[in-house]
Amino acid sequence: MTSRVCVVTGAGRGIGRAAAIHLSGQGHRVALVARTESELVSTAAECPGETLVLPTDVTRPDSAGEILDTIAEKWGLTQILVAAAGRNRSAKLDETTDSHWQSMLDLNLTSVFQWLRAALPPMAANGWGRAIVVSSIAGKRGFKHLSAYAAAKHGVIGLVRSAALELAHTGVTVNAVCPAYVDTELTERTIESIVAQAGWTRADALHHVNSLQPIGRMISTNEVVQALSALIDNAGMTGQSIHVDGGLVHG
Collapse the DSSP code of 20 into the 3-class scheme (helix H, G, I; strand E, B; otherwise coil) and give the result: helix
Complete DSSP assignment for 73-115: HHT----EEEE-------B-GGG--HHHHHHHHIIIIIHHHHH
- CA–CA separation, 228 and 25 (whole Å): 14
SS (H, E, C) 212-249: HCCCCCCECHHHHHHHHHHHHHCCCCCCCEEEECCCCC
* pLDDT for the residue numbered 196: 86
In the set 110, 115, 119, 149, the catalytic residue is 149
Ramachandran angles phi, psi of 34, nearest 5°: -175, 175
Supply the pTM of this predicted model: 0.94
Query: Would you say 29 and 72 are in contact if contact means Cβ atoms under 8 Å apart?
Result: no
Q: For the chain, what is the mean pLDDT?
A: 96
- CA–CA separation, 78 and 133 (whole Å): 15
DSSP state of 180: S
Query: Would you say 70 and 121 are in contact if contact means Cβ atoms under 8 Å apart?
Result: no
Taking residues 229-238, report their average pLDDT: 97
The structural domains of the chain, ordered by start, are 5-180+220-244 (3.40.50.720), 182-218 (no CATH)
181 is catalytic: no
251 pLDDT above the threshold of 90: no
* pLDDT for the residue numbered 1: 64
- For residue range 2-36, list pLDDT tens digits in order: 899 999 999 999 999 999 999 999 999 999 999 99
* pLDDT for the residue numbered 182: 95
* pLDDT for the residue numbered 250: 87
- For residue range 107-159, list pLDDT tens digits in order: 999 999 999 999 999 999 999 999 999 999 999 999 888 999 999 999 999 99
* pLDDT for the residue numbered 176: 98
- For residue range 34-43, list pLDDT tens digits in order: 999 999 999 9
